[in-house]
Amino acid sequence: MFSFRINFSMTSKRSKAVTKKMTFYSKYHILVTIDDALEITIRGINNVVSCTYNMTSDKQMDGKTEETTYKDRIFRDVYNYAEDLVEGWKQLCKHVLDIFKRKTINGIVMTMDEFVNHNVSVIDFLKSNEILVDGCYLYQKRQKKNVDKHAAYFLKNLTVNLNFTLHLNIRNNNFDGKIPKRLQVLNIEPSKWIGYERLLEIDSKHVILRNNRITNEEWNLFLKKWISMETNQNLEYMELDKRELGGFRDRVLYDIPHEVVSEEVSRILTIRYKQTQEIRGGIDIRRTDGKTATFFVLRASWGEYFSMCIH
């Protein structure tokens, strides 16, 4: 099995030519992290072995390796020295993507208030190398920092294929960030900048919104459009802040045909991240094509949330 112990700075042209012909490389996951550290991680088949290359400004740490084992899985950290951490990280990414013959990385985690002065440079690097991203996770640690501009720039310039999580304190309700299209999962917390018009633009399968500013009347209009198949036809699951079913029925479904399901009725429904859960009762509405949306309060280890499941 490939050991992941590659000294990328010492990889010869001949070695690169050989490794590029190893088709098993396509089975490995590549993830990049821009946080308080700059990293690139290669995860092996079935995540048995994982190696993270960390950029360091400490010359004495260059080439050092740390290894831990957890539940039969091996985690290696390899340190790479660079006088300019960001430029060193870019070169390391180029080496890895070149060796693995990849244009799509499996994931990117970016804390947008850590390397603020380099956000645009990092985004431009990813764009100029035509790198696509399967899973993208944007965070910030300091809520007082305004990251609206850089978040919008990220969304304008990079393509996200599957999953997108945005945990940013977007301040502008007219934030002009472009929401990626046809995602498997869209998770926006908080989502104060998501209003009615934005909601209609979302075409992801699984949608999680926290603290949105959509009114009861707008939810009523949205559901009418969904029933008539005018919007959000890809939607399979939506999760919102907790609210009572009775209040939702009275304030949102007041003129929409619906059925209150008895608590004695139990159904297995698919919730977030394609997990399944037994749900009792709920409220059903039906789309013109016969599909059903069930509203219920999801009770899970991470809390209680109001949910809509299409089945």
pLDDT tens digits along 16-38: 444 444 444 457 899 999 998 99
Q: Work out the average pLDDT over 102-127.
A: 94
Output the six-digit token pair for 249: 């029925």
Amino acid residing at 22: M
Answer for the pair 219, 199: CB distance below 8 angstroms, yes or no: no
Q: Work out the average pLDDT over 157-172.
A: 95
Q: Is 108 a residue whose pLDDT tops 90? A: yes
Q: Which string of DSSP letters, residue by residue, matches 128-140?
A: HTT-EEEEEEEE-
Q: Is 12 a residue whose pLDDT tops 70? A: no
Answer for the pair 235, 207: CB distance below 8 angstroms, yes or no: yes
Q: In the chain, what's the furthest Cα-to-Cα distance?
A: 71
Answer for the pair 283, 258: CB distance below 8 angstroms, yes or no: yes
Q: Is 50 a residue whose pLDDT tops 70? A: yes
Q: Is 125 a residue whose pLDDT tops 70? A: yes
Output the six-digit token pair for 28: 């490995």
Q: What percent of the chain lies above the pLDDT cut of 90?
A: 77
- Higher pLDDT residue, 157 or 103? 157
Helix (H) or strand (E) holding 226: helix 216-227
**Tens of pLDDT, residues 270-297:** 998 888 999 999 999 999 999 999 999 9
**Burial degree of 158 (CB within 10 A; 0-12, 13-18, 19+):** middle
CB burial of 168-205 (b: ≥16 within 10 Å; e: otherwise) equals bbbeeeebebebbeebbbbbbebbbbbbeebbbebbbb
